[in-house]
Amino acid sequence: MKKKTITILSVLMLTIVSACGPAPEPTLSAEEISNTAVANLWVALTATQLALPTATATFPPTETFTPQPTFTAIPINTLPPPPPAATATSQCNQVPVPEPKGKVVKVKFVNKSKGNVNLSFGMLAPNAQGECFTYSYTLGAFDEPVVTVLAGCYWAYGWVTVINSNKTSTAQNMEALCITDPTKEPDIWISEEVISFH
């Protein structure tokens, strides 16, 4: 019986001692745990965004316009000679004068060669006043200058240099280019190999 008493007393003492201890920690409900996790996630995302460098607008560099060579008159002796089959007599190999005596006409050169062209445009025969000139022009890619020349029939020869390439070619007319009507402005197209009316 003594053993039973000791056991009962031990149980009672343990109950008294446990009753005097601190209150048990409260436990969180599932909803409270979920809300805490969401709050922690938002804090982490906010901290991540704050740590990123500030986004600044970056624009691509602006393209710089590089002008192509434009239409300019050049000295006649810098161009290659015209083809022998289309050349006139040496009397027509003269530099044009500013104010010719004969009838003048306008012509529009259209550079379709996709390159720069050094153009010789020479008369096949003198006019009634004895004037016979060879004109020289430099045309940039896609230039379309309108020029004034003496009325008459012409041969044409172009030295073509294709832009951004080492490619060169020569362009010439296959038949005489006769321009005699001052009321019209014919188009003469220059391709990589042919010069002709259009």
DSSP category for residue 86: G
Find, among 20, 172, 150, 22, the residue nearest to 83 by Cα. Answer: 172
* Distance between CA atoms of residues 1 and 5, nearest Å: 6
Residue 40's alpha-carbon distances to 28, 52, 88, 126, in angstroms, are: 16, 19, 94, 98
- Average the pLDDT over each of 9-23, 78-92, 95-109 and give the range with the smallest value: 78-92
Domains in the chain with CATH codes: 76-80+90-197 (2.60.40)
Q: Which residue has the higher pLDDT, 42 or 68?
A: 42
Q: What is the pTM of this model?
A: 0.55
Q: Which residue has the higher pLDDT, 132 or 20?
A: 132
| Residue 29's pLDDT band (cuts 50, 70, 90) | confident
Please say if the pLDDT value at position 81 is more than 80: no
Q: Which residue has the higher pLDDT, 6 or 190?
A: 190
Q: Specify the pLDDT at position 63.
A: 66
